[in-house]
């Protein structure tokens, strides 16, 4: 039978059908778990940039609970940022703005926390990056991220600057990671673009609201 001309075609078809079916079945079995993991990574980043929720997020279940109970999904009024409300439907206590862009090796995705004054940074967290371990990947570690807490955005095109590790810092600057110049340069660009765009959107909404109130 192996010598028949049709045999390789039928054999390949059957082998592909069998292995594909097993893979499809296995993927379907784990689909919900994979989707939950991806959602949880973003939720963890959002919860970690707000000081009000950061300390309570001890494990995955707590992170999810805090996110569901306290975070409001982004809309046009918040310029695409998640918001933390003082109480159900109340005023905004903090924003969590998603940021994304190309890093040195792969895309960097994260969230930057902004206080209700729309100027003070409350924290930064990354949920996707593939920079060099030990160098660029240090941007996702606590020592680097903690530098952003309390920084105040400067007006203009560079709200936040990432400077060389030795220089003296002003209120909108943080130190770069030693040996990760390319990652830090790209990260500064990603942060500044996102913040600038968000500030413009928020300013436009305030301006529009003021005009509507004028009789």
Nearer to another protein, 19 or 204 (CB): 19
Give the binding range for another protein (CB under 8 A) out of 32-40, 111-119, 148-156, 196-204.
Answer: 32-40
Please choose, out of 18-26, 81-89, 90-98, 115-123, the segment that lies near another protein by the rule CB under 8 A: 18-26
Q: What angle do CA 38, 39, 40 make, to 5 degrees?
A: 90
Say how many C-beta atoms besides its own lie within 10 A of residue 199's C-beta: 17
Determine how many CB atoms are found less than 10 A away from the CB of residue 56: 12
Residue with tokens 């989707």: 35
Query: Any contact of residue 132 with another protein (CB under 8 A)?
Result: yes
Binding of another protein by 37 (CB under 8 A): yes
Q: Is 155 in the site for another protein (CB under 8 A)?
A: no
Please, which residue, 105 or 116, has the CB nearer to another protein?
105
Residue 135 touches another protein, criterion: CB under 8 A:
yes
DSSP assignments along 53-94, one per residue? HHTT--SHHHHHHHHHHHEE---GGGTT-EEEESSTT--EEE
Tell which positions 67-106 bind another protein, by CB under 8 A: 106
* Dist. CA 66–CA 196, nearest whole Å: 28
Our finding on whether 130 is near another protein (CB under 8 A) is yes
- What is the rounded distance in angstroms from the CA atom of residue 70 to the CA atom of residue 73? 10
With binding defined as CB under 8 A, does residue 133 bind another protein? yes
Q: Distance between CA 135 and CA 144 in Å, rounded?
A: 11
HSE, side-chain direction, 13 A CA sphere, residue 35 = 6
Per CB under 8 A, the segment of 33-41, 81-89, 116-124, 204-212 that binds another protein is 33-41
Minimum distance from CB of 88 to another protein (Å)? 32
Q: Which is nearer to another protein, 102 or 130 (CB)?
A: 130
Give the interface with another protein as residue ranges (CB under 8 A): 2, 7-8, 11-12, 15-16, 19, 22-23, 26-27, 30, 33-34, 37-38, 41, 106, 128, 130, 132-135, 178-179
């Amino acid at each position: 039978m192996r010598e028949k001309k049709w045999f390789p075609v039928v054999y390949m078809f059957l082998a592909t059908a069998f292995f594909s079916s097993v893979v499809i079945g296995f993927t379907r079995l784990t689909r919900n778990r994979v989707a939950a993991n991806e959602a949880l990574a973003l939720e963890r980043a959002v919860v970690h940039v707000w000081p009000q929720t950061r300390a309570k997020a001890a494990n995955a279940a707590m992170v999810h609970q805090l996110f569901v109970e306290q975070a409001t999904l982004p809309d046009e009024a918040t310029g695409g940022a998640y918001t933390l409300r003082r109480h159900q439907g109340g005023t905004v206590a903090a924003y969590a703005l998603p940021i994304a862009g190309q890093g040195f090796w792969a895309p960097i995705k994260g969230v930057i926390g902004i206080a209700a004054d729309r100027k003070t940074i409350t924290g930064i967290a990354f949920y996707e990056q593939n920079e060099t371990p030990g160098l660029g990947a240090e941007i996702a570690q606590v020592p680097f991220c903690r530098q952003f807490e309390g920084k105040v955005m400067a007006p203009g095109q560079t709200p936040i600057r990432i400077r060389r590790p030795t220089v003296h810092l002003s209120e909108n600057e943080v130190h770069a990671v030693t040996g990760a110049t390319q990652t830090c340069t790209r990260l500064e660009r990603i942060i500044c673009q996102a913040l600038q765009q968000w500030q413009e959107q928020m300013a436009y909404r305030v301006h529009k609201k003021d005009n509507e109130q004028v009789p």
